[in-house]
A and B are shown apart, each in its own frame.
Chain A
Amino acid sequence: MKLGEETFELDLIAKALRTISKEISYEGLAKALLDAALDYSGAARGAVVLSEGGELVAKADASFPRERARILVSRPPLDEFRLPGELDERVLTRQETVLSSEGWRDFILADPAERQASGDVVFLCLPLVHQQRTVGVLYLEAEAEPEIFTQKRLAAMSLLASQAAVSFESAQLFEALRETNMWMIRGQRLGRMGSYRWNTRTLLSRASRECYRIFDIDLGVNPVPFEVFGSRIHPDDLPALERALEEAVSARAPFNHEYRVVHRDGKTLNVVAVGEFDVGPSGDVELEGIITDVTERKIEEQALTDARVELARAARLASLGELAGSIIHEVSQPLTGIIASAEACLRWLARDPVELVDARKSATRIIELAHRATAVVCGLRSLAREGQVRFADVRLHEVIDEILLLVKGELERASITVKTDFDHSIPPIEADRVQLQQVVLNLTRNAVDAMADVAGRPRVLTIASRLLAGEVHLAFADTGVGIDPSMSERLFDVLYTTKRGGLGLGLSICRKIIGAHGGRLWAEQNVNFGAKFTFSIPTRQSAHGSEMK
């Protein structure tokens, strides 16, 4: 063989190797290998069969490639490719290269009619082996020309085959990477969250595809300059965001900020960004994290809040209905009696002779019933009373004991223990007894309600009295759900309620009453759990008859 020819052959091999190594898909790889092998050997026919994901032949699977081969390219094109049993064993299992021997008649690719005419045919069957695994087969077939599969060509072919096997492995890795990446993209789209990395020196960001969607930035903008990012932030939210970023950068603290994003079409999203600082590959400090689109969650939260408000209103109306119901009952009872007795009275009087004794009894009963109805109305009026405060000397602890007796059943049903911590040096105080009772009752009931959902710790109401600088302080501490510090003033608003069945009147009434006594009522978080409501009133009133406002 001349030198030029050898160079030419080497060149061919090098080209083939390059082509093969460029391929990253299974099918492209199989085609490239087949084309190179046919070109180089001059064989007339050939086929490359690749196993499924390389897994198939991890163990010597005798059935390969008959049932599970996935990629088949052949010249001429075939739908099916089967290695005869003996070949199968030698090539796939023992990983031998088989060159056709004399007397072999089972050719796979040649047309049977043609074959008989042309006489002998030779073939070459090469396993594609990578890391001890047979990942495929290269099969070539040619009309009988003994020199077609020379040792040298065989060696070159082996080289091609092993390069193909390596490329095959790369293709597999590439495929796995592509799949992982698709998962991430899909996962981020479904979760509406994107990942980003922001360089705090260059102010450039790199971000996943979902970030581009969230911020309505074209995919071509990469990396994203801060101005582009900033232009999508709601103008009202931008200063706060910049401040938060600055603070986080200077403290290198974990970043967590919620803001609004405005798309070019005006659509507004709510997003939450979280991140942590680290030093990037360039040596710059970078913020890496996740941005989540919480718009839908916000809408749902709003709907939930609306539903709660609506429910609370309905409950308030329902308890008004209940109140009306019991008032109706209280009034209709005596009315029924009055009507019946009055009618009876008339009938006794209409008798001949007049039944005076019965008539008088009827009339007496009418008066009695009318008094009862009046009492009901008076009771209602005192409920609605907005009038003067009637001061008298009141023993505070007596009032508390009375109320505790009144709500004893409620406390027991709610499994609440009451602890009292009284300062017995407290003198009788000048107050409106009924109104003070009302306050004590409301604060006790509040505590009961606050502990209704408590599990896993004792339900304890501690009532403590103290005498401090001419004022009595009475505190109601519960172990309930506690209060949101930002809400501690709203609690006293009229019609503000956190309770399901609450009217939102209790605390506002309490504060009004305590105010009329020249005192204060406030709420605070209890030491461990729950809330503490305390009121203070002076033991003596400076001026009598102050009006409730």
Chain B
Amino acid sequence: MTMSPLGIVHIVDDDTLVRESLADLLRSLNYQVALYPSAAEFLDNRLSEAPACLVLDVRLPGASGLELQDYLARVDIKLPVILMTGFADVPMSVKGMKAGAIDFLTKPIRDQDLIDAVAAAIRSDQDHRRQMAEIGELQARYGLLTPRERQVVALVASGLMNKQVANELSISEVTVKMHRGSAMRKLGAKSVARLARMAEILHLSR
């Protein structure tokens, strides 16, 4: 029986046996795994579009796990990170968590902790990807709006009544209603509240 993979787990650990053991466990849970002995080798790899997360050992030859985490944040790769360490000290954990790690696991790692952390990380990545997709779609729809419709949407979203919008743009209230209706149709907004929310996502403001 084969199931479609739940997501891709990238594992960076210089200890081959540990790396393979973790991979083994995650594969048995139906995750797809990709293994790397160092940060550099991970960076050589192209990331796919599937939901994914990174399980990262802090102590690595060359660039450390925390450095890799830093780098990913700088180049805006929003891959959820789970940090692992053999000997956690508090300042290091704080640093890792502050830099946005989903979890910080201390070796020896309990299997359930890893399973939970990976599940949460994949979920978080899925949410993130969904959001990004929604924004992308909304932006595409917004592109269909005429300049006048965009003006009307911005003003309506900022809380003005039709009449006020008409005044502002020196057009009749009927025309405002017409533009608004057309814009809502194009954007797929079923209510003014929904329209306001979309404007917020698109960062529209007067």
Q: Of B1, B24, B87, B107, which contacts A336 at CB under 8 A?
A: B107
Q: In chain A, residues 131-186, which have Cβ atoms closer than 8 Å to a Cβ of chain B?
A: none
Tell me, yes or no, whether B82 is within 8 Å of chain A by CB.
no
Number of interface residues of A (CB under 8 A): 31
Chain A stretch 336-366: residues in CB contact (< 8 A) with chain B: 336-345, 347-348, 351-353, 355, 358, 361-362, 365
Q: Count chain A CB atoms within 10 A of each CB in B15, B20, B27, B109 and give the residue with the most.
A: B20
- Chain A residues, Cβ within 8 Å of B22: 336-337, 340
Q: Decide: A358 and B17 in contact? CB cutoff 8 A.
A: no
A337-B21, A340-B25 known; A329 vs B111 contact (CB < 8 Å): no
Question: Which residues of the other chain, A, contact B107 by a CB distance below 8 angstroms?
Answer: 329, 332-333, 335-336
Write the B26-40 contact mask toward A (1 if CB under 8 angstroms, else 0).
011100000000000
Known A328-B86, A328-B87, A329-B86; judge A336-B28 contact (CB<8 A): no
Interface flag for B108 (CB, 8 Å): yes
Residues of B contacting A345 in the complex (Cβ-Cβ under 8 angstroms): 24
Residues on the B chain within 8 Å of A339, using CB: 21, 108-111
Q: When each residue 24-47 of chain A gets 1 if its CB lies under 8 Å from chain B and 0 otherwise, what string results?
A: 000000000000000000000000
Which residues of A have CB within 8 Å of B77? none
**In the assembly, what is the distance between CA of A368 and CA of B20, in Å?**
12
Q: How far is the CA of A343 from the CA of B114 in the complex (A)?
A: 11
B25 shortest CB reach to chain A, Å: 4
Contact A333 B18 (CB under 8 A): yes
Query: Taking the complex as formed, is A369 at the interface, i.e. its CB lies under 8 A from any CB of chain B?
Result: yes
Separation of A337 and B17 alpha carbons in the complex (Å): 7
Point out the residues of chain A lying under 8 angstroms from B86, CB to CB: 328-329, 332-333
- Report the separation of the CA atoms of residues A329 and B108 in the bound assembly, to the nearest whole angstrom: 9
Q: Which residues of B contact A352 (CB under 8 A)?
A: 1
Contact yes or no, A358 B21, CB < 8 A = no
Using CB atoms, name the residue of chain A closest to B114: A340
| Chain B window 101-121, contacts with chain A (Cβ cutoff 8 Å), 1 for yes, 0 for no | 000001111110010000000
Q: Measured between C-beta atoms, what is the minimum distance from B33 to chain A in Å?
A: 11
A84 at the interface (CB under 8 A from B): no
Across the two chains, which residue of chain B brings its CB closest to A338? Answer: B21
B89, chain A: closest CB distance, angstroms:
9
CB of A103 closer than 8 Å to a CB of B: no
In the complex, which residue of chain B has the Cβ closest to the Cβ of A339? B111
Which residue among A332, A338, A344 has the maximum number of chain B CB atoms within 10 Å of its CB? A344
Please tell me which one of the listed residues B1, B15, B28, B110 contacts residue A333 in the complex, with CB atoms under 8 A apart: B15
Q: From residue A467, how far is it (CB to closest CB) to chain B in Å? A: 46
The proximity string for A residues 52-82 relative to B, scoring 1 for CB distances below 8 Å and 0 otherwise, is 0000000000000000000000000000000
Contact of B21 among A332, A351, A353, A369 (CB under 8 A): A369
Q: Are B111 and A343 in contact (CB under 8 A)?
A: yes
Whether A372 pairs with B108 at a CB distance below 8 angstroms is: no
Closest residue of chain A to B89 (Cβ to Cβ) is A325
A-B residue pairs in contact (CB < 8 Å), sample of 22: A332-B86, A332-B106, A333-B86, A334-B17, A336-B18, A336-B21, A336-B84, A336-B108, A337-B17, A338-B21, A339-B110, A340-B25, A342-B111, A343-B25, A343-B28, A344-B27, A347-B29, A348-B28, A355-B28, A358-B28, A361-B24, A362-B24
Interface pairs A-B: 4 shortest CB-CB: A335-B108, A347-B28, A337-B21, A329-B86
16 additional contacts, CB 8 Å, given A336-B107, A336-B109?
A329-B59, A331-B108, A333-B107, A337-B15, A339-B108, A340-B111, A340-B114, A341-B25, A343-B28, A344-B21, A344-B24, A344-B27, A347-B25, A347-B29, A352-B1, A365-B20
